[in-house]
Copies of this chain bind each other. A is one copy, B any other.
Amino acid sequence: MNTAIILAGGVGSRMGVDRPKQYLIVNEKPIIVYCLEIFQNHKNVDKICIVVSDEWKSYVIENIKKYGIDKVCGYASAGKTRQHSIYNGLKCVDKNAPDTDVVIIHDAARPLVSDKIIDDCIIGAIEDDGAMPVISVKDTIYQSKDGKSIDNLLKRSELFAGQAPESFDFKKYLDIHNSVTDDEISATAGSSEIAYRHNMNIRLVEGSERNFKITTIEDLETFETIVNG
């Protein structure tokens, strides 16, 4: 069984608007619903667990009813970091969908993920231990410990920018979180990072520029343009 964790716990917005980005309305529908519909309609996703802050929970429940998102099996509270939110989501899955083999962790603010990326991630988590969509890096990236002078050159062809969803063997990934310190969870910048560090083999699959995270006003405008064809 494959269960999606949708991360909707963020409460801030860099856009200077009155609500977190995942709850902004585009064509009368909140962005999170666009995201949830993709997982609702995906034939290889069985259940959905939503990580949501307390103040937005009733709003989310109202909307999943309105839009018929009936795969939702539980809600988890937002944590102090993204990775803590993921841990809360994992515990929610363990409680409400304990037969889960593969967990697929996605951002509510990435509402344009394709069915193929989700499929590739599920297959990667079954055949390896996990999978993450990546896109190539366009900038020339330099490494510097102090931010003042270059310490090391990096080959652009060997660099990949991680996207979501990241998918994992559920039991292995949960076990890692149960075994590490709170500090290690806090220090985790990417969900695949903690998996890689604990010897899970993470497959890189082809991501997409379209699968961007809505963060800025420009991102929102791009999303609106795409939605309106």
Contact = CB atoms under 8 A, between A and B. Distances in A.
Nearest to A216: B209
A202 B150 contact: yes
Interface of A: 128, 132, 134, 137, 139-145, 147-151, 153-156, 158-162, 189-190, 192-193, 196-197, 201-204, 218, 222
Given A196-B150, A203-B148, A137 B139 contact: yes
A218 to B, nearest CB: 6
Given A150-B202, A204-B149, A159 B140 contact: no
Contacts of A158: 143-145, 151
A203 B141 CA distance: 14
A203 to B, nearest CB: 6
Nearest to A191: B140
Contacts of A193: 140, 153
